[in-house]
Amino acid sequence: MLMINKVFFILVICLCHISMIYCQTLTKDQMLEDLNFMESKIKQYYIPLPLLENRTGVCFVEEFNFLKSKITKDEPIENFVELVRQGLNIINDPHSQIVRKDQIKWYVPNSYLSAVGNVTLKDTISADYFHSLVSDTIYSKIKCQILVKYINGSYYNVRPFGYENLIVDSGEQITAIDGVPMNDFVNKYRNMMLFTSWDPILKQWFCESFKVSLPLIGKTQFTLTVGGKDLKLDCGKPLTILSREFTKSYSPQVYLIDNNILYIRMPMMMNVDWYREELLKKYTPDVKKIIIDIRDNGGGDDSVWQDLLKVIINKPLTYQYKVQIPNNDTLIHCVHSFGDIRRIGNNVYVESDRVIEPDSNSINYDGKIYILQNKYTFSAAAALSSVAWQNPDLILVGEPTVTISGYTFPAIMFKLPNSQVVFNLAFSCDAVGGSSNPFMDKVEVQIAEDADIKGYVDKIMNYDYYGLDYIMNKDKLIKYIKSVH
């Protein structure tokens, strides 16, 4: 009975704590203190900041000062969490986000970086609530199913839909929201929007998921100019969709193409044993080319691609590991086992010459390995791109990435002092590219996968574009590799 009463007491205390968080109002001074804390951590730890400013023209200090100017009175905590999201949006790094409970539960006891931040397991109590304010709470408001594609600086409708007595077809150009040209609209509201990306070729911001962000901007109802027609739409009301995309294969794949090309599709850096087993099953001595497709791969574990290469190569594969980090003694101590610590002025690098050795099960392949990347290759997948960019036996084919890419460490977690919001902050960048590839976003063979809207609509509406038929007969990057002698 005593144990039951104790458990009940703890439960009541937790519920009261959660209730206090949900009902919390922050003063103007508390919010400014929290934002000043976040700004100081970004300046102190976010090493890619000068690269970001050079690449995009963003002035972090100006944009963060503008964010702080929005704080004019006391606010409910949910309003402040939105400002935190906007502050992290300024640096446009997918590794720097408000975190979930499960991330904290793993990070605190397991991460070699946990000594750097100020987060404890107590912070799991409110983490999912804060995260929901910038995810589920937003997505649940969106019923409008318009699908948009950005190509060569312009926006296009993908799904055909009915509007009153009109049909808006696939491929019609979207030119404005509420009379504001699309590119101007995205530039104006970039920090308030979700999933904004940098176009490294045209050097401008774009956002294909702008519909999700419109309620955050206060535009639940808006006028969309499509194909010269002004449509009055509501984010909360569904459209009459006339046709949907072809079902896609999102699972890993290993195909044999034309009996002489081994194709490996990696949607995430996970499950290396499956890849190794499938490769050994499908490989034949007739294979003259190997393709590792990491398009749309958002990352995972570096050891996956490393262990996959071990079962392919016939000789040691060498590459340079050179990651810049902040000049911080605690942080340096946390990462010193990854390589030699080298200081050049105020800059600190973790460096090592790395070697991937073939293992006993290797197929002893001695040809070129083609690595396919697109705009959205990121994190652990981008680390493989970094190796490919350096090594003559690996050929990097596709598109420059929207993010500053390459090898990085995982992010650090910090907790804001008053609101108790916990966020991830990236702190490292791949420096191996030097002045020739400072953002580590380049490819060796640049091919625009979706060069025009007609071809993209055909691909997405009529094909499983990671299925064997499309890969063998339609994929531009595969066609290029087939043509190489």
> Given this model, what pLDDT does residue 5 score?
55
> Given this model, what pLDDT does residue 22 score?
67
Considering the chain, what percentage of its residues have pLDDT values greater than 90? 93
**φ, ψ for residue 484 (rounded to 5)?**
-75, 130
Mean pLDDT of 214-224: 95
The two three-digit tokens of residue 101, written as one number: 């409970």
Number of domains present in the structure of the chain: 1
pLDDT value at 7 more than 80: no
The b/e string for 269-284 (b: 16+ C-beta within 10 A; e otherwise) is: beebeebbebbeeebe
Neighbour tally for 30: CB within 10 Å? 20
Which of 233-237's residues contact partners 24+ apart within 8 Å by CB, and which partners?
233/144, 233/146, 234/144, 235/141, 235/142, 235/143, 235/144, 235/211, 236/141, 236/142, 236/143, 236/144, 237/143, 237/144
pLDDT value at 287 more than 50: yes
Residue 165 counted as domain residue:
yes
pLDDT value at 17 more than 80: no
Confidence class for position 4, pLDDT limits 50, 70, 90: low
Contact 365, 314 (CB under 8 A): yes
Task: Please write the tens of the pLDDT for every residue from 136-185.
Answer: 888 988 999 999 999 999 999 999 999 999 999 999 999 999 999 999 99
pLDDT value at 338 more than 60: yes
Residue 170 counted as domain residue:
yes
Contact 14, 125 (CB under 8 A): yes
> Given this model, what pLDDT does residue 15 score?
44
> Given this model, what pLDDT does residue 136 score?
87
CA of 354: how far to CAs of 208, 316, 393, 428, in Å? 38, 10, 15, 18
> Given this model, what pLDDT does residue 21 score?
61
**In the block, residue with structure tokens 């609509």:** 457
Residue 333 counted as domain residue:
no
Residue 319 counted as domain residue:
no
Residue 204 counted as domain residue:
yes
> Given this model, what pLDDT does residue 108 score?
97
> Given this model, what pLDDT does residue 10 score?
44
Output the average pLDDT for the chain: 95
The domain in which residue 188 lies consists of: 148-241
> Given this model, what pLDDT does residue 443 score?
98
Coil/strand/helix, residue 291: strand
Residue 177 counted as domain residue:
yes
Q: Rounded to an integer, what distance in angstroms lies between the CA atom of residue 187 and that of residue 204?
A: 8
Full-model pTM: 0.93
Residue 207 counted as domain residue:
yes
Mean pLDDT of 366-386: 98
Residue 437 counted as domain residue:
no
pLDDT value at 56 more than 50: yes
> Given this model, what pLDDT does residue 325 score?
98
